[in-house]
Structure 1
Amino acid sequence: MPYQEDLGAALQQLRREVFEAGDYYWVNGGDRRPEEEREPRPRSLEALWEDELVQETGTHSILDIFHVLGPDDTPDYNAVEPVTAAETQELLGVDRLTRAHVKDFDVFPRSRCIGRCAVLHDDAGDPREICFWGHSGD
């Protein structure tokens, strides 16, 4: 995502983009069902989450992540936890992350259904992007 100071707003923008693109697992429209039994995708995120099967299985995408944790919040399901400056320094030995570091992001601790995010900087040290990653499904 392009950088913006409000990580929560960036997350919501990304969720809207993924939903609109249909880039998520739609349990009621799966390829294993005969064509005539497939349901059309919902027209809104709210309608998507009203579906009981979606509530049980999720979408295996960023749509399963609802909010960004603050510095004093306890990690909980369906949230994204920003990488801290201390983690960046301790685990990668740098003060600012860049796109070149993304390949090494597996060093940051994570749990299923709790995403991570990090601000990526350009060569001048200015924030340019926000990288979200994690696993919300199998």
Structure 2
Amino acid sequence: MGASGWEYSVPYREDLAGAFEALKRKVFEERDYYWGPGADWRPEEERLPWPRTVEELWEDEYVRECGTHSILDIFRIVGPDEERDYFTMQPVSEDEALHVLGTRRPTRAHMPEFENFPHSRWQGRCVVLHDDAGEPRELHFFGYSGD
């Protein structure tokens, strides 16, 4: 199948970790992820029901190998000065935004350029989106995962 790109925007809040966890809960609850064991390409008698918990989701061998092609494949946030690794989300720093986008206060208009931020498969990035007055309005999460 290959990796899939994903992205989500949520209202801004200073608590990045809280926003990240709330978004992951929402994605899980809304089933906004790839559930290979229950996919409609499988014969109906082989399809498994959707998992009831995140723990149940990750107990599945297929999911552990192929992922969910969503933010659910990301387990923790690392700081801007830490090294990104598999399954991590790293915020874009103001200095990085300035270097890549020419501004410390990205807006929705900059979103097409987000692919220019360093990224790898099985990793995510997040950036604060500002309004025209420079006030933070949204958190935007994006990344690539799945096999």
TM-score range, shorter chain: over 0.9
Q: Report the TM-score when normalising by structure 2.
A: 0.89
Q: Do residues 92 (structure 1) and 124 (structure 2) align?
A: no
Q: What is the letter of the counterpart of residue 130 of structure 1?
A: L
- After superposition, give the CA deviation of every residue in 1:93-124 in whole Å (9 maximum; x if it has no partner): 11201111111111111111111110001122
Unmatched segments (≥5 aa) in structure 1? none
Q: Do residues 123 (structure 1) and 129 (structure 2) align?
A: no
| Equivalent pairs, count | 138
Q: What is the letter of the counterpart of residue 13 of structure 1?
A: A
Instruction: Give the match for residue 107 of structure 1.
Output: 116
3-state SS of the aligned residue for 1:128? strand
Instruction: Give the match for residue 15 of structure 2.
Output: 6
Q: What is the letter of the counterpart of residue 26 of structure 1?
A: W
Structure number with the bigger relative contact order (C-alpha 8 A, sep ≥ 6) is 2
CA distance in 1, matches of 2:83, 2:12: 24
1:59 deviates by: 0.5
3-state SS of the aligned residue for 2:79? coil
- After superposition, give the CA deviation of every residue in 1:56-113 in whole Å (9 maximum; x if it has no partner): 1110111001111113422111111111111111111112011111111111111111
Stretches (4+) displaced over 3 A: none
Instruction: Give the match for residue 22 of structure 1.
Output: 31
Q: What is the letter of the counterpart of residue 116 of structure 2?
A: V
Query: Larger % of strand: which?
Result: 2
CA distance in 2, matches of 1:103, 1:2: 19
Alignment root-mean-square deviation, CA:
1.1
Identity of aligned residues (%): 59
1:132 deviates by: 0.6
Q: How does 1:2-81 map to 2 (within 5 A)?
A: 2-81=11-90
1:32 deviates by: 1.8
Unmatched segments (≥5 aa) in structure 2? 1-9
Residues 24, 71 of structure 2: 8 Å contact kept: yes
